[in-house]
Structure 1
Amino acid sequence: MGPRGAPLLAVALVLGLCVLVEGQKPSPCQCSRMTPKNRKNCGFSGISSDECFDRGCCFNSSVPGVPWCFQPLPKEESEQCVMEVSTRKNCGFPGISPKECASRQCCFSDSIPEVPWCFYPQSVQDCHY
């Protein structure tokens, strides 16, 4: 392949990786723990569950008047730690370190200010599509 083909190959690889990342089906906890009123639309009217999951989104048509295809909750290191910020129950204190939080067998995420960063995990048994 000549020097002209390298940029084209790079673009093709980047696009292929984007499709793989976008099309990853979210975990059951990322979908079922989202409160219907907080759903952010990820599809279009009449989208099928397969089309929605292909976009990397959640699908649930059981609640009328809210998006059925919606953005998942952020992925966490452990499925037990996937939850809406409003459902976090404090397991620590201001300034707790990730290590000390882990020693309490709790979840740690400091990406959102003014909410508990160390919080109790939830059972994954309630997670479903």
Structure 2
Amino acid sequence: MGDRCTQLLAVLLLLGLCALGGAQKPDPCQCTRLSLKNRVNCGFPGITSDQCFSASCCFNSSISGVPWCFKPLPKQESEECVMETSARVNCGYPGISLEECASRKCCFSDTIPQVPWCFFPLSVQGNVQLLDQEDSRGWGELGRGRS
């Protein structure tokens, strides 16, 4: 009986450590760039920030009427590429490869269908001077973010 209890405790301890090791607090930009209306609940009433972060979720209790513990935006290689899909401005064409997109100095994420997979980073969007420079490389209307 004692051996079974020891084995059970060891398994539970191992599972608990695995759960803690896998949880990562999201980057701030994954949380702050998400609009209130798009918050997807990731917790329960009364959840603490520590409990929320342990579930790899965002926490902000400053606004009532919206989830305080919510799923973050997808992690990207560059902070400039973290944005809602509705904010993506197309920088490519259907079926563009990661390599071609990177050669245009744009962001790439093919995890969500029906949205641009190659898109301008936030620091480039709305900067006419940068877009005009890109235009001179032969991007034409595409360099202006129009499809």
TM range (shorter): 0.7 to 0.9
| Greater C-alpha Rg | 2
Q: Cα RMSD (Å) of the superposition?
A: 2.4
Check conservation: 1:43, 1:52, Cα contact below 8 A: yes
Secondary structure, aligned partner of 1:18 = helix
Gaps of 5+ in 2: 124-147
1:45 is the counterpart of 2:45 = yes
Q: Residues 31 and 58 of structure 1 are in contact (CA less than 8 Å); yes or no, is this contact kept in structure 2?
A: yes
Counterpart for residue 113 of structure 2: 113
Q: CA deviation at 1:61?
A: 1.9
Partners of 2:42 and 2:35 in 1: how far apart?
Answer: 15
Q: Percent identity among equivalent residues?
A: 64
CA offsets per residue over residues 8-62 of structure 1, 9 Å max, x none?
A: 867754542222112x110001111111111111222222323322222111123
The match for 2:83 is: 83
CA contact (8 A) 2:106 2:121 kept: yes
Q: Confirm whether residue 34 of structure 1 aligns to residue 48 of structure 2.
A: no
Seen in structure 2, the aligned counterparts of structure 1 residues 110 and 49 have a Cα distance that, compared at 3 Å, is same
Partner of residue 22, structure 2: 21
SS in 2 for 1:17: helix
- Structure 1 stretches of at least 4 aligned residues deviating more than 6 Å after TM superposition: 8-11
Alpha-carbon separation, structure 1, partners of 2:48 and 2:14: 28
Distance 1:46 1:14, change over 3 A: closer
Q: Which residue number in structure 2 is paired with residue 104 of structure 1?
A: 104
Aligned length: 119
More helix by share: 2
Larger relative contact order (Cα-Cα within 8 Å, sequence gap ≥ 6): 1
Cα displacement (A) at 1:108: 0.6
Q: Could you report, residue by residue, the CA deviation over 1:54-93 in whole angstroms, capped at 9, with x for unpaired residues?
A: 2221111232211011111111222221111111110111
- Calculate the TM-score normalised by the size of structure 1: 0.77
Query: Is 1:95 equivalent to 2:134 in the alignment?
Result: no
**How far apart are the structure 2 equivalents of 1:64 and 1:92?**
39
- Letter of the 2:74 counterpart: P
